[in-house]
Amino acid sequence: MALFSKEKINKIKYKAGDLLNRSLDQHVTLAVTGLSRSGKTAFITSLVNQLVNESNESQMSFFNPVHQGRFIAAKRVPQKNLHISRFDYEHCLSAFCHQPPHWPEPTKGISEIRLAIRYKPKDSYLKYATDMATLTLDITDYPGEWLLDLPMLKQTYEQWSSEMLALLQQAPRAEHAKSFIDKVAQINPLETADEDKLTELAKEYTELLHLFRNELGLSVIQPGRFILPGELEGAPILEFFPFTDIDNIDGNAYQNAEDTSFLGMLRARYLEYRERVVKRFYKKHFQHFDRQIVLADCLSPLNKGQESFKDLQHAISLILESYHYGQSNILSRLFSPKIDKLLFAATKSDHVTPEQHPALVSLLNQLTHASKHQLNFDAITMKTLAISSVKTTDSGQTFHQGKKIPVIKGRKADDDKTITLFPGAVPKKLPDQEYWKSTPFNFISFAPQQAISSHECLPHLRLDQVLQFLLGDKMK
């Protein structure tokens, strides 16, 4: 007679599996952020869509658990952090189910969604304890503008003002910022502040930031909460601006400025913003992320011109400065979690012809090159990919002046017309001055092609490679 019944053995096995799951850290907190118009909301919607609908003709052959037949299922489960907004997957997906389909409204604050992913372990210790393991995936969505605020933690108000003035005096910001700079120069920084005047100038500075982001297509926007305030809208903590004549103020006068003076109030609000907004975001969220994807639209800045592209380069350098890198293990994850995998993704790769994708990856590699050596030194795994969260075009060839040329065909986002074109060649390296003079770009925004049902998979490019990089090592 057997000492234990089959049912009891299975029960012990499952309990051992749960314990081993926890000890082997079967949990990933994936942070998703993106620079202006990079398609962050569409990315999260499509990523969740691919996982929960994996059995419905999804194209996930580069994601090992699927390729090896070990992926069982994924479902959404209640999130742990009840004080954080839920990422509204259903509402976002409905935009792609609409006839005609359209892009979902971008999210404007921080939100979360949690998935439980079941799979069969193959190479990890889990295979000795269970036939089926569960990876918990928390996806945190936050604006890239908030990430760009993190360098402020290392800057005084004086340093920040000098840096912002340098930006405001460069093209293409300069012609739009001249009036604001002149108005600030007329203020006596040491006299008692007129709060209405201070509020008026803070509003004008905020309007400039909106213009830089939405009309000029620029990436470096500080402070980021000014254009995406969330629950802080209307609060005095968002009513300050760089003092553009800061370099002409005597050091002693700066240090001894009364709290009630213009300079004193601006400095106090900056410090309060740095402590209560930027540092709080870092402590509550950022330092707990262990995997990160940064989405970047490299094509729109190429369209906008040299200054816009240089601003993207500046933004990426600020982002890379902000991470607390270091290789993770169980002890460090328990007591000092830190990001150990970083993926930079060039979005909208379907907006160029397929043979241009390697050039798009090469260009993104060039943009991140300056910091890559340090990441490698810190044993951080970093990757760049060209992706499309939702594929919107078909590729093919046509004849032009007797020669075959590659083209893409899609539905334009602005007027709903279907067009076929060769949008231009993506440079393989950072464009020089001569390149900007001689090479035209015509990268057009496209709308989703066909409506889907809620149980279908969205068409994509390389989201399976994204999942393999970010989750493959946790699902062996």
Residue range 90-110: mean pLDDT, rounded: 93
pLDDT of residue 17: 44
What are the tens digits of pLDDT across the range 159-209? 999 999 999 999 999 999 999 999 999 999 999 999 999 999 999 999 999
pLDDT of residue 394: 95
pLDDT band at residue 21 using 50, 70 and 90 as cut-offs: very low
What are the tens digits of pLDDT across the range 113-168? 999 999 999 876 666 556 789 999 999 999 888 889 988 998 999 999 999 999 99
Cβ neighbours for 397, distance < 8 A, ≥ 6 positions apart: 404, 405, 406, 407
Q: What is the percent of the chain with per-residue pLDDT over 70, rounded to a whole number? A: 87
pLDDT of residue 18: 42
Residue range 263-283: mean pLDDT, rounded: 93
42-46, 132-136, 442-446: which has the minimum mean pLDDT?
442-446
Domains and CATH numbers, the chain: 7-142+285-393+450-474 (3.40.50.300), 157-282 (no CATH)
In our burial notation (b when 16+ CB lie closer than 10 A, e otherwise), range 145-158 reads bbbbbbbbeebebb
What single letter denotes the amino acid at residue 359?
A
pLDDT of residue 326: 47
Cβ neighbours for 348, distance < 8 A, ≥ 6 positions apart: 39, 297, 299, 388, 443
Taking the model in full, what pTM does it have?
0.88
With contact defined as beta carbons under 8 Å apart, do 364 and 298 qualify? yes
Residue range 387-410: mean pLDDT, rounded: 92
pLDDT of residue 93: 97
Q: What is the percent of the chain with per-residue pLDDT over 90, rounded to a whole number? A: 60
Alpha-carbon distances of 201 from 74, 281, 346, rounded to whole Å: 50, 26, 36
What are the tens digits of pLDDT across the range 364-376? 999 887 666 555 5
Distance, in Å, from the CA atom of 113 to the CA atom of 323, rounded to the nearest integer, reads: 23
Number of Cβ within 10 Å of residue 235's Cβ equals 15
Distance, in Å, from the CA atom of 446 to the CA atom of 42, rounded to the nearest integer, reads: 13
pLDDT band at residue 320 using 50, 70 and 90 as cut-offs: confident
178-182, 242-246, 319-323, 410-414: which has the minimum mean pLDDT?
319-323
Distance, in Å, from the CA atom of 384 to the CA atom of 359, rounded to the nearest integer, reads: 12
48-57, 120-129, 320-329: which has the minimum mean pLDDT?
320-329
Residue range 330-347: mean pLDDT, rounded: 71
| E strand residue ranges, 10-58 | 27-34
Alpha-carbon distances of 346 from 43, 116, 359, 426, rounded to whole Å: 12, 27, 11, 12
Beta-bridge partner residues of 406: 397
202-206, 250-254, 451-455: which has the minimum mean pLDDT?
250-254
Residue range 420-426: mean pLDDT, rounded: 90
pLDDT band at residue 393 using 50, 70 and 90 as cut-offs: very high
User: What's the alpha-carbon Rg for the chain, to the nearest Å?
Assistant: 25
Mean pLDDT over the full length of the chain: 87
pLDDT of residue 472: 94
pLDDT band at residue 334 using 50, 70 and 90 as cut-offs: very low
Residue range 304-321: mean pLDDT, rounded: 89
SS3 475: coil
**Greatest mean pLDDT range, 25-39, 90-104, 128-142, 391-405:** 90-104
Distance, in Å, from the CA atom of 404 to the CA atom of 268, rounded to the nearest integer, reads: 63
Distance, in Å, from the CA atom of 272 to the CA atom of 384, rounded to the nearest integer, reads: 36
pLDDT of residue 333: 45
